[in-house]
Amino acid sequence: MNTRNLIVITLIIINILVLLTPAAGSDTLKRSLLEEIISPDKTDLFEDYGELALAKAGVQAVIQGMKGTEVTTTTRDWVNIYLSIVDELEKMTTLTKSQHPGDHEEALKMADTIDTAINTLKKYDIAERNGIPVLAERALKRFYIREGKFFEDLATNTKETKVRIEYEHISSESYDKGDMPSDASRMEFEAIRDERMYKRDMDRASEHIAASREYHATARDPPSVFFGAAFMDILKARDSFENAEKLYEKHSDKELGNVKELRPAIDDTYKGLMITITKKIAIYLLIISLFTGIIWLDFRRWGEELDDTRLGEELIV
């Protein structure tokens, strides 16, 4: 292919693209934007967020009231921002229909992107004058309030304190972004209170576990042959573990699973000591019985000899 033919083909492609692309400041661009605004069917979303329906009506009215020559690429830019906000909110509401907390957390991350888009939309004077960013902002705040309530309910019904604290923080932050300062403060207070109580109890549980391990180690390898001290140590080890266990169960804390193996080890040592002590006691009793038997035989022999002596005395008399 020679250079001349290549230039001709390039010019033809450029002309086709020009014909297909709406020109800035034209009725074609105006019609294209109106079609993008009107055509999407988002009935469910607009029912949930009436502010978005009002925003859509406002955008449509603005574009319809503009002359073709007034509809420029700038107009297209802010309309596209509005449309992207609607699309993202629809994705977010779809996610929040799920009861899985992870989906709601993902939706909240998307909400931060929408907040940035709304701030960008405010920079366009015509959109700002017609209240489009304000309506979108109200819809976003409504979303945040709903998520604040969702995570508050989730926190109330969550037994695991560590997870409940996380949900309380998310609830507080969501209420704050939804302009609900009193609810945000209330949830933050609950989170701080639960954190303080949780840390206090977990510190105590850790101390109990450390003490239990120490007592268990001493009982398993006693420094002396006196098994009474070892037996007292294993009882202390068991009591310390049970105190820690109660604290972990109080908070439904998963850390309990990491120390569970200590309980059977304590029980095994306890049984071993009981067997050893029982054997020792049996040996001691056996020895005492032997000594008692020997002493009794001595007393019996002595008694018999005494009787013989008295009998001899009686015969002499």
8 A C-beta contact, residue 241 and residue 266:
yes
Long-range contacts of 27-31 (CB under 8 A, 24+ apart): 27/68, 27/71, 28/68, 29/68, 29/71, 29/72, 29/75, 29/76, 30/63, 30/66, 30/68, 30/71
pLDDT of residue 222 exceeding 90:
no
pLDDT of residue 66 exceeding 80:
yes
What pLDDT score was predicted for residue 7?
A: 40
Confidence band for 13, pLDDT divided at 50, 70 and 90: very low
What pLDDT score was predicted for residue 20?
A: 42
8 A C-beta contact, residue 148 and residue 187:
yes
Please report where in the chains the tokens 């955008």 appear, as a residue.
59
What pLDDT score was predicted for residue 149?
A: 97
Q: What is the mean pLDDT of the chain?
A: 84
Q: What is the pLDDT of residues 239-263, one digit of tens each?
A: 999 999 999 999 999 988 888 889 8
At 124, give phi and psi (nearest 5°): -90, 115
Confidence band for 194, pLDDT divided at 50, 70 and 90: very high
| Closest C-alpha to 62, from 130, 121, 118, 131 | 130
8 A C-beta contact, residue 114 and residue 85:
yes
What pLDDT score was predicted for residue 26?
A: 72
What pLDDT score was predicted for residue 286?
A: 73
Query: SS3 for 67?
Result: coil
Q: Give the whole-angstrom CA distance, residue 207 versus residue 239.
A: 12
Q: Give the whole-angstrom CA distance, residue 39 versus residue 204.
A: 62
pLDDT of residue 4 exceeding 70:
no
What pLDDT score was predicted for residue 117?
A: 94
Distances (CA, A) of 155 to 106, 139, 142, 188: 18, 24, 20, 12
pLDDT of residue 94 exceeding 70:
yes
What pLDDT score was predicted for residue 164?
A: 97
pLDDT of residue 200 exceeding 90:
yes
What pLDDT score was predicted for residue 311?
A: 53
Percent of the chain with pLDDT over 90: 56
8 A C-beta contact, residue 259 and residue 209:
yes
Distances (CA, A) of 12 to 6, 18, 28: 10, 10, 21
pLDDT of residue 91 exceeding 90:
yes
pLDDT of residue 230 exceeding 60:
yes
295 versus 117: the higher-pLDDT residue is 117
Q: Give the whole-angstrom CA distance, residue 50 versus residue 43.
A: 10
Of 15-19, 106-110, 192-196, 267-271, the poorest mean pLDDT is in: 15-19
